[in-house]
Homo-oligomer: A and B are copies of this chain.
């Protein structure tokens, strides 16, 4: 079983990150991803810091950022990430119809990506 570090057994540096996550998200406990990352507190701290910056409101809508995160996770085939970001997208308002269309785009892009590489298509001059 991969080690999950619980709050009580976490190093002070990790505990501070857990506290920051709980405050930012208004949740009583952090997800398993963060408990697993706590085996290396510097990586835990850096990852939370980077993720907070990247997912903060900006030029892209928070739901759109979450859909993009989910699309990448599906493409990488990361089961944990698909599960957690599907839940996060739903929490941010993703409808079933939007979820269906996301699936369709991810599947279609995976097919044409593969075909373009299989055919070694040269890049059109107007794309450069």
Pick from B1, B4, B55, B105: contact of A69, CB below 8 A.
Answer: B105
CB-nearest residue of chain B to A115: B107
Residue interface bits A88-126, CB-to-B below 8 A is 1, else 0: 000000011111111111111111111111111111101
Interface membership of A43, Cβ < 8 A: yes
A59 x B107 contact (CB < 8 A): no
Residue interface bits A47-87, CB-to-B below 8 A is 1, else 0: 10011011100111000110111011111111111111011
Pick from B96, B110, B126: contact of A72, CB below 8 A.
Answer: B110
| Bound CA–CA A118/B2 (angstroms) | 10
Residues of B within 8 A of A87 (CB): 126-127
Interface membership of A8, Cβ < 8 A: no
Residues of B within 8 A of A73 (CB): 109, 113
5 closest cross-chain pairs (CB), A and B: A40-B100, A59-B97, A72-B109, A111-B111, A74-B118
